[in-house]
Amino acid sequence: MLKQGLMVIALEARLKGCKNVITLGVRPNFSDYGPEESELIKKAKKVYYPTGFYADLFDAAGKNIFPSYHTYKFSQDKIKQTAVFDLLDIPHPRTRVFYGKRQKQKIGEYFNYPFIAKIARGSAMGRGVFLIKSRQDLNVYLSLGGPAYIQEYLPIDRDLRVVVIGKRVVHAYWRIAPAGEFKSNVAAGAGVSFEKVPEDSIKLALLTANACGWNDVGIDICCHDGQYYVLEGNMKYGKEGFRQAGIDYLKLMETLIENGEI
């Protein structure tokens, strides 16, 4: 039973199907919400999954949201995430961002082949990640435009996805890259394993999420030469790992809402 008939308001469809959530949908203009919908939003103690656009508006208006404002502000922005990892001394592979033609000409002064290059903003599920083995590879990557996000290559065949919701880890698993592939994204064909998830990775994920102010995130962590590194935080993480573990994601979220954890 829901405590006191608790119902909450969500805009995005992430919680559609949860019995204790009314999903209103995302309107391009707040004035597009009808009088009843507008009143529900205004009176809600918290609005769930408001989108980045409405997160800014609700934060300015002093309205509580989930995920947190900081979770939205760092979503799909590798440059900003790397900067905050450096600021907070969170272990992270050596990374540098290069802007403009003059800076990009100096990439070879900082990194030896092979190294990793990524689309800095807006990429997810393994898209926009490149293994650069030669100057030709680098030129192809640079032709895509935008800032050059360059990271040292760590020869690993797997990493860890640790999902933090609220203040606790709700799921963790290994993502194992297919043979001959350097990316370990499940969406790109990586395997999932639940065996012996290291406690140190759980602690590092919680530390990272709490320090950064993220309360709904999949923290990607790798281990190289006995050292754990945070690769990035994924705020738009997939649910395949939950499915393979037999975890009903919607029921989990219903329970977290009911218990006041989110």
Does residue 108 lie within any of the structural domains? yes
**Spatial CB neighbours of 226, under 8 Å, sequence gap ≥ 6:** none
Same domain? For 164 and 146 the reply is no
Indicate whether 131 and 178 sit together in one domain. Answer: no
Q: Where are any strands of DSSP class E within 89-132?
A: 95-98, 115-118, 129-132
Q: How far is CA 230 from CA 45, 190, 208, 258, in A?
A: 33, 19, 8, 31
80 belongs to a structural domain = no
For residues 68 and 215, give the distance between their C-alpha atoms in angstroms, rounded to a whole number: 6
CATH of the domain at 139: 3.30.1490.20
pLDDT at 91 over 60: yes
Report the distance separating Cα 30 and Cα 44, nearest Å. Answer: 15
Give the per-residue pLDDT at 1: 36
Can you give the pTM of this predicted structure?
Answer: 0.91
> Does a structural domain hold residue 186?
yes
Q: Would 107 be classed as within a structural domain?
A: yes
Mark whether 167 and 141 lie in a shared domain.
Answer: no
Which whole number is the average pLDDT over 93-109?
97
Domain of residue 50, residue span: 3-66
Query: In which residue are the tokens 């950064």 written?
Result: 212
- Three-state SS at 9: strand
If asked whether residues 117 and 200 sit together in one domain, one would say no
Provide the 8-state DSSP code for 16: T
In a domain, 81, yes or no: no
Q: How far apart are CA 38 and CA 196, in angstroms?
A: 48
Helix (H) or strand (E) holding 210: helix 199-212
For residue 28, pLDDT over 90 is answered with yes
Query: Is residue 222 one of the residues assigned to a domain?
Result: yes
**Count helices and strands in the chain by DSSP H and E runs:** 10, 13
Among residues 46, 90, 92, 55, which one has the least CA distance to residue 75?
Answer: 55
Model confidence over 128-162: pLDDT tens digits? 899 999 999 999 999 999 999 999 999 999 999 99
Residue with tokens 């999954």: 49
Distance CA 139, CA 164 (A): 37
Going through 40-198 in order, the beta strands assigned E by DSSP cover: 46-48, 64-66, 95-98, 115-118, 129-132, 148-152, 158-165, 168-176, 191-193
Burial of 65 (0-12, 13-18, 19+ CB in 10 A): buried
pLDDT band at 126 (very low <50, low <70, confident <90, very high): low
**17's tokens:** 């199907």
Q: Mean pLDDT across the stretch 190-209?
A: 94
Count Cα neighbours of 231 within 13 Å in the Cβ-side half-sphere.
27
Among 64, 61, 62, 84, which residue's Cα sits nearest to residue 73?
Answer: 84
pLDDT band at 202 (very low <50, low <70, confident <90, very high): very high
